[in-house]
Amino acid sequence: MRNVFITGATGFLGSYLLKRILDDGDTRPIVLARGKKTGSAAERVKNIAKYFYGGNYATALKRIRVVEGEVDKEFLGIDNAIRKPLIKEVDEIYHSAAIAEFRIPLDRIRRSNVIGTENVLKFAMECKASGHMKKLNHISTTFVAGKKSGVFYEKDLDVGQKFNNTYEQSKFEAEILVHKYMKKGLTAAIFRPSILTGDYVAGRTSNFKMLYQPLRFFVRELFDAIPADRSTCFNMIPVDFTAEAICAITKENESIGGTYHIANTRIMPLGSFIDVASDFFGFKKPEFVPLKDFSMNTLTTVQKNLIEPYIPYFNYKTIFDSVNTMDMLEEKGFQCPIVDTDFLVKLFKFCDETGFMKRKKRYVTAG
The answer on pLDDT for 340 being more than 50 is yes
In this prediction, residue 313 carries a pLDDT of 96
Distance of CA 96 to the CA centre of its chain: 8
Q: How far apart are the C-alpha atoms of 12 and 208, rounded to whole Å?
A: 10
In this prediction, residue 35 carries a pLDDT of 86
The model's confidence at residue 38, banded by pLDDT at 50, 70 and 90, is confident
The model's confidence at residue 367, banded by pLDDT at 50, 70 and 90, is very low
Per-residue pLDDT reduced to its tens digit, 280-292: 999 999 999 999 9
The answer on pLDDT for 228 being more than 60 is yes
**Mean of the per-residue pLDDT values for the chain?**
94
Angle at 112 between CA 206 and CA 311, to 5 degrees: 65
Question: Where does residue 301 rank: exposed (0-12), middle (13-18), buried (19+ CB within 10 A)?
Answer: exposed
The model's confidence at residue 246, banded by pLDDT at 50, 70 and 90, is very high
In this prediction, residue 102 carries a pLDDT of 94
Please answer whether residues 247 and 184 qualify as being in contact, where contact means their C-beta atoms are separated by less than 8 angstroms. Answer: no
In this prediction, residue 49 carries a pLDDT of 95
Q: How far apart are the C-alpha atoms of 9 and 20, rounded to whole Å?
A: 11
Average pLDDT over residues 165-185: 97
In this prediction, residue 243 carries a pLDDT of 97
In this prediction, residue 362 carries a pLDDT of 56
The model's confidence at residue 321, banded by pLDDT at 50, 70 and 90, is very high
The answer on pLDDT for 37 being more than 90 is no
The answer on pLDDT for 91 being more than 70 is yes
Average pLDDT over residues 19-48: 90
In this prediction, residue 236 carries a pLDDT of 95
The answer on pLDDT for 366 being more than 60 is no
Average pLDDT over residues 31-57: 91
In this prediction, residue 176 carries a pLDDT of 98
Per-residue pLDDT reduced to its tens digit, 124-135: 999 999 888 999
Per-residue pLDDT reduced to its tens digit, 187-222: 999 999 999 999 999 999 999 988 999 999 999 999
Q: What is the 3-state secondary structure (H, E, C) of 226-241?
A: EECCCCCEECEEEHHH
Q: What is the 3-state secondary structure (H, E, C) of 254-289?
A: HHCCCEEEECCCCCEEHHHHHHHHHHHHCCCCCEEE
Q: Percentage of the chain with pLDDT > 70?
A: 98
Q: Percentage of the chain with pLDDT > 90?
A: 87
The candidate with the shortest Cα–Cα distance to 258, out of 310, 187, 317, is 187
In this prediction, residue 202 carries a pLDDT of 94
In this prediction, residue 364 carries a pLDDT of 52
Please answer whether residues 189 and 139 qualify as being in contact, where contact means their C-beta atoms are separated by less than 8 angstroms. Answer: no
Q: CA distances (Å), 168 to each of 108, 127, 239, 290, in order?
A: 14, 29, 19, 24
- Sheet containing 188-193: order of strands: 65-68, 27-33, 2-7, 92-95, 135-139, 188-193, 259-262
Exposure string of 32-65, with b = 16+ CB inside 10 Å and e = fewer, is bbbeeeeeebeebbbebbeebeeeebeebbeebe
The answer on pLDDT for 251 being more than 90 is no
Identify which has the larger pLDDT, 77 or 266.
77
